[in-house]
Amino acid sequence: MIRVIESFGRLALESILYLGEVMLMLFSSMSYILPDGFRRKKILLEQMAKIGIDSFPLVGIIASFTGMVMVMETAVTLKKFGGESFVGGIVSLSMVRELGPIIVAMIIAGRVGASVAAEIGSMKITEQIDALEVLGVNPVSYLVMPRLVASMIMVPILTLMANFLSIVGGYIIGVYLVHIGSGIYLYQSFEFIKIKDIFVGIIKSFVFGMLIIGASCLEGLNAQGGAEGVGIATTKAVVNSFFLVILANLVLTAIFYFL
């Protein structure tokens, strides 16, 4: 029993220390946004394209299919009580508040976070980052800051698009398969959504994007041991990003809806 408690305590301390390292990385990179932002404009635009435009097809497809599946699952249950007309409201509210930011964050963590960790990790292993420091270029300013700013801009935009496409996907299934009236579905979809819900979803996606890039860059900068080290750093970046996203979602939901 003592060993179990010790292992949980050790895990909790390691998690707190890791979260502190990510926060230090984020604060350090944000300190370069104003001084170096204009000089890194080209890199920033490239990262915005990688994070946002290149991720949009995957985000759009998954969000649309998620809306369709949610309508199918919800309609089966609500039909038993004659409440299938409320399907649109349940799906849209769930996506805007919770599922939209989470789905986009998971896609970005798996697609972009792994790429960032592998790219920076390869630079670390091949001593390119050491070369930058020798030339007087701060690696955090050159590598982390543009990716952080790009994620802060593009992840909320992707979340808004995912919310819209999930409602469209749900509309297709709700109207043409479940046979809910078109006007009723659209009315219910937007009746229960408040400005606060949209605001909370954007705030969540904003924080998720920061945490994903922070964790991915941190693992890349700490990569060691050749090609195997890059693989380990990439895996840790994705897993830790998932953990941070779920933890941040819990905290933000409690702050906005229960405090």
Q: Is the dihedral of CA 170, 176, 179, 181 positive or negative?
A: positive
pLDDT category of residue 102 using cuts at 50, 70 and 90: very high
Residue 48 has pLDDT above 80, yes or no: yes
Token pair for 21: 């390292």
* pLDDT value, residue 181: 84
Most confident of the ranges 21-35, 71-85, 240-254: 240-254
Q: For the segment 109-137, what is each residue's pLDDT rounded down to a tens digit? A: 999 999 999 999 999 888 888 888 888 88
* pLDDT value, residue 36: 66
Alpha-helix residue ranges (DSSP H) falling in the chain: 2-30, 33-36, 41-48, 56-79, 87-94, 100-108, 114-125, 128-134, 139, 145-176, 182-191, 195-221, 226-258
Residue 16 has pLDDT above 90, yes or no: no
